């Protein structure tokens, strides 16, 4: 067993590895970029070493810097986590050369499976079923176009050197192939350092089912059953579960046998995942991930095993644990990935600080894996995942019910999230019935992501407005009480914040902005500490108390439990399982704001790097035309013209970093209407 390991990763997976290492009595050394100097994994590890600036290529992707940190820390082994260098054969070799054990497969296996083209060739020899496709060396357009024609449209373009959805494109028509190949190759080079592509026949409604594989140095290879990862956006998984619903036992056995054959074919050691597409009773090899998967937690929940512990044991030369010979499926587990992103804007990543963060309480049947804390920043440098929520149940309905309940208890303020989308997926009848395939979100987009926000019912409107006003009144009372304590006469009537007047009823007026509408309210103080709130033609009686659990708001004698988060002049009202409502307190005496021209300007929605400029100065463009390609958070974002006009200036060049809100294209004044 190792005495100290270095974790060459960050965030959730770094925290995950640290926790297992600590339980095993192994000291941990973390690494961090300048952007992560105050990150959760840095605080959790026994020690942490700086490895460079925020860009991943200068820190988490720098083999030299990480190996140097391992040497200086005196680490005996390196755990690569997932992403970054976890599937980099050069990194595994550099670790061995430095006398540090790489907790992962041999470099040769990484190379074979890291190239999707070579992997498919090996699988073909091992009689593992393959989709019709092209995985040859020729990458010129005529060769790829001919291959696509032979396969038949639609075809799927994939990056040979990586995964996670980067470099993937669906092409429906031959006319769209050249542009898609160019875009996919560019994104693949940026993400993985290689623009090599392969083509596959695109299946319209397949399931994505993967087998968790484990092998040791003594020739033992086992399957830890399967996971269904069909619910995806941008080709990236957001909900995973184990075992796969309604999977025929014979199909499960055949897939496990094929996965084991794949592992043996490459001389595999450690944790790996063989991914298949399933269509009816047929399955096809897709790729092999030579690392631990993000979704490994659901496998742990149904087997009772710690896969990180298995990784460490195997890397130290031990045989697979004795439990590997008697594995069985116990119950069902479902995982939901919580991201800082805006599903309503094509899943655009969201950057900002986690002003407020509350997670559901963990227990044996509910698990939260996270690498962030309240106050942390979600930046543009790395993956925007906030956490994974995993629920276990005796069967799938029990696990689903537990996950839905726990998901509703999340409270996040400061960034947009996919919490609403996850809740909508879990509540969808087809999902509950086990109707899973990779096109689920696209097929049910209108139901899962309604184009217009639903109107808030009048009763909920009253509740939200009352909560916001009571929060302000409570703050005012607290400030007045604190000021009174500082005065020589704490009992002075001037220290009372109840709007007391000598003649007539005292009241306070408020002006709130909610969804672009101005809402005036008047609050009358009652003798018992209660308030009568008047807005429009309605009047409600309200009292409130607040503590760590949130606000208990009694409205016309009915008690409601919610939370109000203060963020400057904003009041964020959080109700269990509902969309956060943001209200802004306005100064009624402030002059009217000037006209905002943001809707007619092309601005950067998040910080990123410009990878392509599709127009030049003087070009006339139509509204919706593609103008700029921005790379941020491991993905390419194509930004379109907000209106028709003539391009007068391009302030930034290809390769330049831009901040959120930067104006990327300027239009000639005469084109504005």
Residue 299 has which token pair? 């496998």
Helix (H, G, I), strand (E, B) or coil at 96: helix
Find out whether 360 and 368 touch, Cβ atoms under 8 Å: yes
Question: Can you give the three-state secondary structure of 445-459, one letter per residue?
Answer: HHHHCCCCCCCCCHH
Half-sphere exposure of 288 (CA within 13 A, CB side): 36
Residue 316 has which token pair? 């130290």
Alpha-carbon Rg for the chain, nearest whole angstrom, is: 28
From 291, 337, 396, 462, active-site residue:
291
Rounded CA-CA distance 12/29 in Å is 15
Q: What are phi and psi of 567, to 5 degrees?
A: -140, 85
Query: DSSP assignment of 608-656, as one string?
Result: EEEEEE---TT-EE-TT-EEEEEEETTEEEEEE-SS-EEEEE--S-TT-
CB atoms within 10 A of CB 14: 27
Is 291 considered catalytic here? yes
Rounded CA-CA distance 486/581 in Å is 36
Rounded CA-CA distance 10/20 in Å is 15
Residues forming beta bridges with residue 663, ordered by sequence position: 603
Query: Considering Cα of 223, then 228, then 234, then 238, what sign does the dihedral take?
Result: negative
Q: What are phi and psi of 299, to 5 degrees?
A: -65, -40
Rounded CA-CA distance 650/49 in Å is 40
CA 566 centroid distance within chain: 25
Q: Which residues are catalytic?
A: 291
């Amino acid at each position: 067993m190792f005495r100290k390991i270095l974790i060459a990763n960050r965030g959730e997976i770094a925290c995950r590895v640290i926790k297992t290492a600590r339980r095993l009595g192994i000291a941990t050394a973390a690494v961090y970029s300048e952007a992560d100097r105050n990150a959760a994994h840095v605080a959790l590890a026994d020690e942490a070493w700086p490895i460079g600036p925020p860009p991943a290529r200068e820190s988490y992707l720098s083999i030299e810097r990480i190996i140097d940190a391992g040497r200086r820390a005196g680490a005996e082994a390196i755990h690569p986590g997932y992403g970054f260098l976890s599937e980099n054969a050069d990194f595994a070799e550099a670790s061995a050369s430095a006398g540090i054990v790489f907790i992962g497969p041999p470099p040769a296996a990484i190379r074979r499976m890291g190239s999707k083209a070579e992997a498919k060739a090996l699988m073909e020899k091992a009689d593992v079923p393959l989709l019709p496709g092209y995985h040859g060396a020729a990458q010129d357009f005529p060769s790829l176009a001919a291959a696509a024609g032979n396969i038949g449209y639609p075809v799927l373009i994939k990056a040979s050197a990586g995964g996670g959805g980067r470099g993937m494109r669906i092409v429906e028509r031959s006319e769209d192939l050249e542009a898609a190949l160019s875009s996919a190759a560019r994104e693949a080079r940026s993400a993985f350092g290689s623009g090599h592509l392969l083509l596959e026949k695109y299946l319209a409604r397949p399931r994505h089912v993967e087998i968790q594989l484990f092998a040791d140095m003594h020739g033992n290879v086992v399957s830890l059953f399967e996971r269904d990862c069909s619910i995806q956006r941008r080709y990236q998984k957001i909900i995973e579960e184990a075992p796969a619903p309604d999977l025929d036992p014979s199909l499960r056995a055949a897939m496990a046998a094929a996965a084991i054959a794949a592992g043996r074919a490459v001389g595999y050691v450690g944790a790996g995942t063989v991914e298949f597409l399933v269509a009816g009773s047929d399955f096809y090899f897709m790729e092999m991930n030579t690392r631990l998967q993000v979704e490994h937690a659901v496998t742990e929940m149904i087997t009772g095993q710690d896969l990180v512990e298995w990784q460490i044991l195997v890397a130290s030369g031990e045989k697979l644990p004795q439990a590997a010979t008697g594995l069985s499926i116990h119950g069902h587990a479902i995982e939901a990935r919580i991201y800082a992103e805006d599903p309503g804007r094509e899943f655009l990543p969201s950057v900002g600080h986690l002003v407020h963060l509350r997670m559901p309480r963990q227990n044996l049947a509910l698990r939260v894996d996270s690498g962030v804390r309240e106050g942390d920043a979600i930046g543009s440098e790395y993956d925007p995942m906030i956490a994974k929520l995993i629920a276990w149940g005796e069967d799938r309905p029990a696990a689903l019910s537990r996950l839905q309940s726990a998901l509703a208890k999340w409270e996040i303020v400061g960034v947009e999230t996919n919490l609403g989308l996850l809740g909508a997926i879990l509540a969808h009848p087809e999902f509950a019935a086990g109707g899973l395939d990779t096109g689920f979100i696209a097929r049910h987009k209108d139901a899962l992501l309604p184009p217009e926000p639903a109107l808030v019912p009048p009763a909920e409107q009253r509740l939200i407005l009352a909560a916001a006003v009571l929060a302000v009144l409570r703050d005012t009372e607290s400030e007045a009480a604190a000021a009174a304590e500082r005065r020589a006469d704490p009992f002075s009537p001037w220290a009372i914040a109840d709007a007391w007047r000598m003649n007539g009823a005292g009241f306070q007026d408020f002006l709130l902005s909610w969804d672009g509408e101005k809402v005036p309210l008047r609050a009358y103080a009652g003798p018992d500490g209660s308030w009568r709130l008047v807005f429009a033609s309605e009047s409600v009686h309200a009292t409130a108390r607040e503590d760590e659990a949130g606000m208990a708001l009694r409205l016309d004698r009915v008690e409601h439990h919610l939370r109000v988060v203060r963020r400057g002049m904003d009041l964020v009202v959080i109700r269990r399982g509902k969309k956060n409502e943001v209200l802004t307190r306005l100064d009624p005496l402030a002059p009217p704001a000037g006209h905002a021209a943001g809707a007619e300007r092309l601005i950067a929605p998040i910080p990123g790097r410009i990878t392509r400029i599709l127009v030049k100065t003087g070009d006339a463009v139509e509204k919706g035309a593609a103008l700029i390609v921005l790379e941020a958070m491991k993905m390419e974002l194509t930004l379109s013209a907000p209106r028709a006009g003539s391009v007068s200036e391009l302030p930034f060049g290809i390769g330049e970093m831009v901040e959120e809100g930067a104006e990327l294209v300027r239009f000639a004044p005469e084109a504005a209407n």
